[in-house]
Amino acid sequence: MTEDITERLRRVFQAAIEAAAPARCVPPHLPTAPSGRTVVVGAGKAAAAMARAVEDHWPGALSGVVVTPYGHGVTCRAVEVIEAAHPVPDNAATEAAARVLAAVSGLGPNDLVLALISGGGSALLTSPAAGLTLADKQAVTAALLASGATISDMNCVRKHLSAIKGGRLAAALTPAKAVTLVVSDVPGDDPATVASGPTLGDATTLEQARDVLARFAIAVPDAVAAHLKRDENETPKPDAPVFRDSRAEIVARAADALDAAAALVREDGAIATIQGDHIEGEARTVAAAHATEAIAAARDMPPDAAPRVLLSGGETTVTLSGSSKTGKGGRNSEYLLALAVALDGHRGISAIACDTDGIDGSGAAAGAVLRPDSLARAEALGMAAAAYLAQHRSFDFFAALGDLVVTGPTRTNVNDFRAIFIEAGAPDTNLRR
């Protein structure tokens, strides 16, 4: 039965990914072709697949360039695909930003820029503001990633250190019209937050960026600190004239993935409950709350009740400190390991937690599966789950059990996906007692 549950959870995750696939979600949102040129630009984990979807359905000529992480590229006919580093930018990311800016220069009012934006674009589209260097951006990005800051907080800072994000790409493409298609990976689905909104007005401020750095006690290079103190470095706001001929549409989001997963769960005869599509917080804190909810649900189920599946999305965080910075894991596998510790081998509960882009943190897995016997099997191998959690070694834990979920790059990204499968019967027993 456990193997059957595992396969069901994997199928539910696959349904979520397919619901956000660019080939499926981009074509219905394509605008009318302009009388002038159409230039495609983009950045993010879904950018190359989005460009291919545009090419397969666009009625006229296209040109342009998109940037995506290493290994996420697809073959396009007219749009150049550049690969660069994520989540910390490299030289390829700065070269890609320069190519994007060059692609939109010299356009006229009859031309159209089709911007294809998805999560990951903040690192991939890197053009340091005047007076800053790539090394400055790398240092700030690395510190933010380790701090526990939310994606909104991170992108607030990154917008204010960029010559292309935070609406500045829109300024560069004027007087052309711009249509931005967004695969959203941010809780709340604000399109201006995804990839730090290169074509959209920025409602955040320099003061807020400084506050983020202060709240998370992030020491930044002197040039960055000085840059954030100068009023002239404020980003263009949503009511600026440069955005008059610009619009944005979200083509895929976490809610779409969860709805597709819930539909499959119900087809399989289980009861699906969506806990939320924009859950944030420390991964282990969210896991503890979900474990409490799952155990309570199990206790309330009659012996012959249909299984229940709790579904959720959003983006949790993992705060690293001291020696824990050497741990190997990601926020989804950390969530799942914390869930395992909280469930303590509960007989009737299994779970899956994965990143919909196929990469959890910097590892080679999308996430992992938790089975009722996971803790018992770990103890048989001499592994203490609590110790691995304290060291942020969730990847190592699930790798040793053979329970990692490996998909490779999915070429989409609607953030975290979690499903907890609850079976009726023996709600107060576990496999370790």
pLDDT, one tens digit per residue, over 215-234 is 999 999 999 999 999 999 99
Domain boundary among 252, 279, 314: 252
Q: What is the pLDDT of residue 29?
A: 98
Residue 32 has pLDDT above 70, yes or no: yes
Shared domain check, 310 and 175:
no
Mark whether 31 and 79 lie in a shared domain.
Answer: yes
Q: How far apart are CA 105 and CA 126, in angstroms?
A: 17
Q: Percentage of the chain surpassing pLDDT 90?
A: 92
Residues 407 and 259 in one domain: yes
pLDDT value at residue 80: 98
CA dihedral 322, 328, 333, 335 (to 10 degrees): 0
Q: Is the dihedral of CA 57, 62, 66, 68 positive or negative?
A: positive
- Residues 307, 213 within the same domain: no
- 85 backbone dihedrals φ, ψ, rounded to 5°: -80, 150
Give the end of a domain, one of 226, 252, 278.
Answer: 252
Task: Over range 127-155, report the average pLDDT.
Answer: 95
Phi, psi of 84 (to 5 degrees): -145, 180
Say what the pLDDT of residue 4 is.
80
Q: State which H helix or E strand residue 420 sits in.
A: strand 416-422
Higher pLDDT, 120 or 361: 120
Q: Is 317 a member of any domain?
A: yes
Determine what percent of the chain is predicted with pLDDT higher than 70: 96
Provide mean pLDDT across the span 64-86.
97
Residue 270 confidence (pLDDT) above 50 = yes
Q: If you search the block for the tokens 């499959």, which residue do you land on?
A: 264
Whether residue 42 is found in the same domain as residue 154: yes
Has residue 427 been placed in a domain?
no
Distance separating alpha carbons of residues 278 and 256, to the nearest angstrom? 12
Whether residue 52 sits in one domain with residue 8: no
Going by pLDDT thresholds of 50, 70 and 90, the confidence category of residue 321 is low
Question: Is the domain of 189 the same as that of 315?
Answer: no
Residue 200 shares a structural domain with residue 308 = no
* Mean predicted lDDT score pLDDT of the chain: 94
- Whether pLDDT at 24 is above 90: yes
Token pair recorded at residue 252: 């895929």
pLDDT band at 361 (very low <50, low <70, confident <90, very high): confident
Mean pLDDT computed over 84-105: 97
Q: Write out the residue range of the structural domain in which residue 91 sits.
A: 23-252
pLDDT at 432 over 70: no
For the residues 353-371, what does the mean pLDDT come to? 92
The pLDDT tens digits of the residues spanning 160-172 come to 999 999 999 999 9
Indicate the length of the chain as a whole number.
433
**Confidence (pLDDT) at 138:** 97
Residue-wise pLDDT for 383-428, tens only, equals 999 999 999 999 999 999 999 999 999 999 999 999 999 998 754 5
Lowest mean per-residue pLDDT among 72-81, 190-199, 288-297, 358-367: 358-367
Higher pLDDT, 4 or 40: 40
* Position 2 pLDDT exceeds 60: no
CATH number of 152's domain: 3.40.50.10180
77-114 core/surface letters (b: 16 or more CB in 10 A; e: else): eebbbbbbbbbbbbebbbebbebbbebbeebeeebbbb
Kindly report, residue by residue over 33-53, the tens digit of the pLDDT. Answer: 999 999 999 999 999 999 999
CATH classification of the domain holding 8? 3.40.1480.10
Is the predicted pLDDT of residue 18 greater than 80, yes or no?
A: yes
Q: What is the pLDDT of residue 224?
A: 98
| pLDDT at residue 139 is higher than 50 | yes
What does the pLDDT read at residue 48?
A: 98
pLDDT of residue 430: 54
End-of-domain residue from the set 197, 221, 252 = 252
21/257 Cα distance (integer angstroms): 10
Statement: residue 208 has pLDDT above 60: yes
Residue 401 makes CB contacts below 8 A (sequence gap 6+) with 374, 377, 378, 381
- Global confidence as pTM: 0.93
Could you give the number of structural domains in the chain? 2
In a domain, 331, yes or no: yes
| Residue 431 predicted with pLDDT over 70 | no
